[in-house]
Amino acid sequence: MNEVRTRFAPSPTGYLHIGGLRTALYTYLIARKNHGTFILRIEDTDQDRFVEGAVELIYHTLKLVGIEHDEGPDIGGPYGPYVQSERKPVYQKYAKKLVDLGGAYYCFCTEERLNHLRETGGHHGTFRYDGHCRNLPREEVERRLQAGEPYVIRQKVPKTGTTTFQDELFGTITVENSTLDDGILLKSNGMPTYNLANVVDDHLMKINPVVRGSEYLSSTPKYNLLYETFGWEIPRYIHLSPVMREPGKKLSKRDGDASFEDFYKQGFLKEAILNYVALLGWSPNDNREFFTLKELEEVFDIRGLSKSPAIFDINKLRWMNGEYIKKQDPEEFHEMALPWYKKAGLPENMDLRRVSSLVQSRTEVLNEIPAMISFLAELPEYDAALFIHKRSKTTVENSRENLAKAIQVLDKLPDWTEGNIQQALNDLIASLGLKNSLVFWPVRIAASGQKVTPGGAVEILGLLGKQESMRRLRIGLEKLKAAGGPE
């Protein structure tokens, strides 16, 4: 059996989209699972679409998530160069060879003629090259070439018959050759199109299987025709179904576009993103859903790949991210959370490790942290109505009474620790013979000014320190007094 060599071949046109990341992942896993080689190739034959810094971003992202290539532009390898723009002469050589073999031909049609054809050809998308230059006499071709006329090299697709190929996932696919266009292989600027470059490079770099998005499914027959006229062995194919967004629900700029980089910056863990993406269109043969990259390298199997498009569900990613966060070592979480505490403006002297212990189990995405804890930095404006909570049986009246008593007790505490606070409040509750919530609820509300908080009254008071706590509790009491009701 031949060595497995797969390649991830992105175009440097911007950030790495989630779908692209998944393609990279699967391609990588197929190589690793088979103890093969994983190659990175940059497909930059369209210089107009080149985006500055895109290549670096690809390196960075792949490295960050741990998808490391064995051959590629930055590390070299026996089949380089791995950047298509640097392989220009190679394509020209093979394009001409193709002409000699009768699988392609020179075409001198101008942009204008083609546009005219398009306009008069009926509906959009119905254009097919009319074969104008398909059978030009050899002498005429030579003459025009000599004259320096701009040209393009087109594939000469048979007019009749069918072409069939096998896809490991989709099975046998057959198309009528008559539906295939004489596509351009070599552009007038001497650069190849994908149609030529992928075939030449995959062959020269001994890529097998060829793994790519399903958007190439319908053009694969044309590539096979090329392999055939070259007399090259046709590779195995694995086409991957796409990842889509929720229909009608475009991800806004605010949510961040669906690039790895954006999610990462928002506070999604790289392991969680990779794990989620792995499961988008693939499932293991059991019900497991938590995998490290290393584990995926062991268990990945293309039989688990799905043929239908998968919709990216941010909800499940969030959940999975939350699971990863919960499983994090507390110290590790603390380190990751720190920048977000700064963003929330927490006081320098606050016990941030304690904050972390309260926040870790409540965080799905790191960027929710500031909103969750900003009340610790500053008491929000709030209404006395917050003191009313049906289930805790609190009212403005009893809150006023109990908060006042709590203030008395707490004010006397010499040593402001959670343990002491808890003890003092418990004692108070016991002496009054009340339900816990009757005291804890108003205290927590006054301390935080929020209905929902990470941690309870005791933890919050502990974090705030005595001075700030007492200040807030008294503000709460004033609010309650102002809210009226019988004394």
Partner RNA sequence: GCUCCCAUGGUCAAGAGGUUCAAGACACCGCCCUCUCACGGCGGUAACAGGGGUUCGAAUCCCCUUGGGAGUACCA
In 3-state terms, what secondary structure has residue 77? coil
Nearest to residue 104, comparing CAs of 177, 154, 141, 150? 154
Nearest to 95 by CA among 159, 30, 155: 155
| Both tokens assigned to 175 | 């198309």
Provide the 8-state DSSP code for 37. Answer: E
The structure tokens listed for 370 are 């500031």
Q: How far apart are CA 272 and CA 295, in angstroms?
A: 14
Residues 221-240 that bind RNA (CB under 7 A): none
324 part of the interface to RNA, by CB under 7 A = no
Q: Which of 96, 362, 466, 481 binds RNA (CB under 7 A)?
A: 362
Residue 449, interface with RNA (CB under 7 A)?
no
Least gap, CB of 243 to RNA (angstroms): 8
50 binds RNA (CB under 7 A): no
Amino acid at 128: R
Instruction: Indicate which residue of 33, 63, 93, 253 is catalytic.
Output: 253
Please tell me the distance from the alpha carbon of residue 197 to that of residue 85, in angstroms, as a whole number.
Answer: 10
Cα separation, 225 vs 195, in Å, equals 11
Is residue 289 near RNA by the rule CB under 7 A?
yes
Query: Nearer to RNA by C-beta: 89 or 231?
Result: 89
Nearest distance in Å: CB 408, RNA: 18
Cα atoms in the 13 Å half-sphere on the side-chain side of 284: 15
Q: Of the listed pieces 136-144, 373-381, 449-457, 473-481, which binds RNA according to CB under 7 A?
A: 449-457
Q: How far is the CB of 224 from RNA (least distance, A)?
A: 13
Q: Does 136 interact with RNA (rule: CB under 7 A)?
A: no
Told to check if 166 binds RNA by CB under 7 A, we report no
Residue 170 contacts RNA per CB under 7 A: yes
Tally of CA atoms within 13 A in the half-sphere of 133 that contains its CB: 24
Window 65-104: residues binding RNA (CB under 7 A): none
Nearest to 213 by CA among 480, 16, 1, 23: 23
Interface with RNA (CB under 7 A), residue from 271, 453, 472, 480: 453
Is 127 a residue that touches RNA (CB under 7 A)?
Answer: yes
d(C-alpha 30, C-alpha 41), whole Å? 16
The answer to whether residue 308 forms part of the interface with RNA (CB under 7 A) is: yes
Nearest distance in Å: CB 479, RNA? 18
Asked if residue 285 binds RNA (CB under 7 A), the reply is: yes
Which range binds RNA by CB under 7 A, 45-53, 138-146, 336-344, 399-407?
Answer: 45-53
CB of 326 to RNA, least distance (A): 6
CA atoms within 13 A on the CB side of 23: 26
Which residue number, 98 or 231, has a Cβ lying nearer to RNA?
98
Is 412 catalytic? The answer is: no
179 near RNA, judged by CB under 7 A:
yes
Query: What residues does 249 pair with on adjacent strands?
Result: none
Q: Which of residues 377-406 bind RNA (CB under 7 A)?
A: 389, 391-392
Closer residue to RNA, CB minimum distance, 3 or 378: 378
Q: Which CA distances in Å does 411 have to 408, 444, 466, 469, 472?
A: 5, 16, 8, 10, 12
Question: Residue 385 or 484: which CB sits closer to RNA?
Answer: 385
Q: Which residues are catalytic?
A: 253
